[in-house]
Amino acid sequence: MNVQKRLHRIFPFLLFLLLTMFPGSAWAVQSHGAPEGLYVHQFAHIFYTAALCYLFWGIRHAVFKSKGWRYLQIFCFFMILWNVVAFTGHALDALAGSVTFSSDTGYLGTRILGPFTSLKFWYYFTKLDHLFSIPALFFLYLGMKTLYRNTMEEKEV
């Protein structure tokens, strides 16, 4: 195996290692300024969800039956969940506010301040939206990779 192929195989691992060893600020839910920014952002979540639902429906009702298209459907499902969670998080951000959490020991040591309410727990859950977006991007990668390989196999035959 030549050097270029080895580098191509090890590059994703090195990138993952670099990003996990030296993370920057990773805010799961971003707050926006004036209410107009939040409204536009919320509408963007709604339109993105509608587009993903249409793509999911289109793949399901088309003749696309390969594994790559199935992965893209799973991607759509996870991204729809992510949009719902992020949309809810933005809405709860106005109600819960940032004073309900303490991050004295850093970002990874964030704690919910009492008294505990269901609103605070739901808000905290919406801060974990990466639990939906990361698998979604992984399935997007798998889908694109599988579709690419299928296309290359068809060209060789």
Read off the pLDDT of residues 14-27 as tens digits, 9 standing for 90 and up.
888 877 777 666 66
Inside any domain, residue 29: no
What whole-number distance in Å separates Cα of residue 15 and Cα of residue 7? Answer: 12
The answer, yes or no, to whether residue 34 has pLDDT greater than 70, is no
Range of the structural domain that residue 118 is part of: 36-156
**Each residue's pLDDT tens digit, 108-117:** 777 777 788 8
User: What is residue 106's three-state secondary structure?
Assistant: coil
pLDDT of amino acid 115: 82
Query: Domain tally for the chain?
Result: 1
Structural domain includes residue 3: no
Assigned domain for 9 exists: no
Q: Is 139 exposed, middle or buried (0-12, 13-18, 19+ CB in 10 A)?
A: buried
Instruction: For residues 116 and 132, give the distance between their C-alpha atoms in angstroms, rounded to a whole number.
Output: 25
**Distance in angstroms (rounded) separating the CA atoms of residues 31 and 127:** 12
Q: Picking from 8-17, 78-87, 146-155, which range would have the lowest pLDDT averaged per residue?
A: 8-17
Beta bridge partners of 111: 102
pLDDT, average across residues 122-132: 88
6 inside domain? no
Any domain includes 71? yes
Question: What is the Cα 56 distance to its own chain's centre?
Answer: 16
Domain membership flag for residue 56:
yes
Looking at the domain assignment, is residue 73 inside a domain? Answer: yes
Largest CA distance in the chain: 66
Q: Is residue 12 part of a domain?
A: no
The chain-wide mean pLDDT, for the chain, equals: 84
Comparing CA positions, the residue from 48, 25, 28 lying closest to residue 89 is 28
pLDDT in tens, 88-103: 998 888 777 666 777 7
Using DSSP's 3-state secondary structure scheme, residue 102 falls into strand
What type of residue is 12?
P
Residue whose structure tokens are 């905290």: 124
